[in-house]
């Protein structure tokens, strides 16, 4: 098989010779060579088809190969591929308008970045500028990006390469009722417990020093941790009481993933800022940004916004964003996420009931996780936190992949987050593969 003059296996060879791959020791890597991607599928060099059950990095929400978005990017490339961020431009104005229109009512303006980490970097600076305070609180078991500031927000091992961290970055324990210190009777009780901890921590840190609390509205790659009822309002109330900015990182949870435009809409709470990326353009080209409240926008009428990027509001990204938002609307993808999410929820509950290795399943819209354990009673994780010396999770992923199911894992948790365009029969077929692989895991743990 050949592409122009290069055979496909040579592509892998050249890739491994010249590219550094993320988050990995490079020896032993064997990246699939991808030759085609369409809808909810992509294909490797041998023509093997994979269900894209994580929408790549939970960003290709509209699926692969959407002609409308591709055309919008091509048209923009023909017209004006780049003009500096100080200039006004039709797609730049329109993209910000469309985003503000779908954001919570208190939101007013957008500062565009290239991607998610940069969105969080700029939100940190904005919170500090507006409040005049410096401490930033964020949760353990969170991911906010890999640049220095965003990595210091991050509450899991991917932050360690950026430590010792930035002074003033403080971590709190966010809600994770499944692994709480006691069995909570209901969501309200869990909320009360975790809010008491947070209030105490704010008081100990000194509320007059705290600029912002950052949270993923639904924790994504760390295991789809869905805030219990009342948590978001509770954080909003604490922020109001102590003059702290509430920032929702919607880089992964936004753009229909949870069945709402933004995940925070599930709880009808208005944050001060929303950071976004991924699904705004679904990766057809890159874009991210910070949506700020009217109050913050007003602050910058008279005060300088000390933020800037050569590629802020890049025309190609803005053109892609306009077209992508139209696709979400025209194909009713926000509603479909909710509908297919209900089907996925039923499938996952069956999986949990059936498999000894499944301790918990969590789902909201098409955003879901399967938490694997050695023992349902003790909840001992299938692999210990931060370690997997025998590569157990990798073996499970490889089994899924050999059956054509592509997703990823984090710690002892399998993430399932297909494109929002997935049909019911496709979802059921793909989850059948998961079911079969989990049978094998049950056998391995000896149940």
Footprint on this chain of ligand PLP (rule: CB under 6 A)? 57, 115-117, 120, 143-145, 216, 220-221, 249, 251-252, 277, 288
Q: How far is the CB of 435 from ligand PLP (least distance, A)?
A: 27
* Shorter beta-carbon distance to ligand PLP: residue 277 or 291: 277
- The 10 Å Cβ neighbour count of residue 48 is 12
Of 157, 156, 153, the closest CA to residue 144 belongs to: 153
Nearest residue to 219 (alpha-carbon basis) of 274, 315, 151, 141:
141
Closer residue to ligand PLP (CB): 277 or 416:
277
Distance, in Å, from the CA atom of 407 to the CA atom of 116, rounded to the nearest integer, reads 20
Q: What DSSP letter does each residue of 341-363 carry, written as one string?
A: HHHHHHHHHHHHHH-TTEEEEEE
CB of 57 to ligand PLP, least distance (A): 6
Beta-carbon contacts of 248 under 8 Å, excluding residues fewer than 6 positions away, are 215, 216, 217, 262, 263, 264, 271, 273, 274, 275
Q: Shortest approach of ligand PLP to residue 145 CB, angstroms?
A: 4
Say how many C-beta atoms besides its own lie within 10 A of residue 444's C-beta: 13
Residue closer to ligand PLP by CB (options 131, 221) is: 221
Task: State in angstroms the smallest separation of the CB of 276 from ligand PLP.
Answer: 9
Q: Strand locations in 325-445, DSSP E? A: 358-364, 367-372, 405-406, 408-410, 413-416
The Cα–Cα gap between 289 and 38 comes to: 27
Nearer to ligand PLP, 225 or 348 (CB): 225
Residue number with CB closer to ligand PLP (135 or 144): 144
Q: Tell me how far, at minimum, the Cβ of 117 lies from ligand PLP, in Å.
A: 3
Contact (Cβ atoms closer than 8 angstroms) between residue 128 and residue 134: yes
Compute the least distance from the CB of residue 155 to ligand PLP, in Å. Answer: 11
Our CB check for ligand PLP shows the closer of 137 and 441 to be 137
Q: In this chain, which residue has its C-beta nearest to ligand PLP? A: 116
């Amino acid at each position: 098989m050949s592409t122009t003059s290069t055979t496909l296996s040579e592509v892998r060879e050249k890739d491994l010779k010249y590219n550094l791959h993320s988050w990995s020791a490079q020896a032993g890597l064997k990246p699939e060579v991808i030759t085609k991607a369409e809808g909810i599928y992509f294909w490797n060099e041998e023509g093997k088809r994979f269900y894209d059950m994580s929408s790549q990095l939970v960003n290709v929400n509209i699926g692969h190969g959407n002609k409308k978005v591709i055309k919008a990017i091509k048209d923009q490339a023909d017209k004006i591929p780049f003009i500096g961020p100080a200039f006004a431009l039709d797609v730049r104005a329109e993209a910000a308008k469309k985003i503000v229109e779908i954001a919570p009512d208190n939101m007013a303006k957008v500062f565009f970045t290239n991607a998610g980490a940069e969105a969080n970097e700029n939100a940190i600076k904005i919170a500090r500028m507006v409040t005049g305070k410096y401490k930033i609180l964020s949760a353990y078991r969170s991911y906010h990006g890999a640049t220095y500031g965003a990595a210091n927000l991050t509450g899991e091992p991917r932050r360690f390469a950026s430590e010792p961290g930035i002074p003033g970055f403080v971590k709190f324990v966010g809600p994770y009722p499944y692994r709480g210190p006691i069995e909570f009777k209901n969501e309200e009780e869990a909320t009360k417990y975790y809010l008491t901890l947070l209030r105490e921590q704010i008081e100990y840190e000194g509320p007059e020093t705290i600029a912002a609390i950052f949270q993923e509205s639904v924790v994504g790659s760390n295991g789809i941790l869905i805030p219990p009822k009342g948590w978001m309002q509770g954080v909003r109330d604490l922020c109001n009481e102590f003059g702290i900015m509430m920032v929702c990182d919607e880089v992964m949870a936004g753009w229909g993933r949870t069945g709402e435009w933004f995940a925070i809409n599930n709880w009808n709470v208005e944050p001060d800022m929303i950071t976004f990326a991924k699904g705004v353009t679904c990766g057809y080209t890159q874009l991210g940004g910070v949506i700020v409240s009217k109050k913050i926008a007003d602050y910058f009428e008279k005060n300088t916004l000390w933020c800037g990027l050569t590629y802020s509001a890049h025309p190609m990204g803005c053109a892609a964003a306009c077209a992508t938002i139209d696709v979400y609307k025209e194909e009713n993808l926000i509603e479909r996420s909710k509908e297919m999410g209900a089907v996925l929820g039923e499938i996952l509950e069956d999986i949990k009931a059936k498999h000894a290795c499944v301790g918990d399943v969590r789902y909201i819209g098409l955003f879901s996780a399967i938490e694997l354990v050695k023992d349902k009673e003790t909840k001992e994780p299938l692999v210990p936190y931060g370690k997997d010396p025998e590569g157990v999770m990798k073996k499970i992923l490889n089994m899924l992949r050999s059956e054509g199911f592509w997703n990823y894992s984090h710690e002892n948790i399998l993430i399932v987050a297909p494109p929002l365009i997935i049909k019911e029969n496709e979802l059921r077929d793909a989850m059948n593969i998961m079911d079969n692989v989990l049978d094998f895991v049950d056998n391995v743990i000896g149940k």
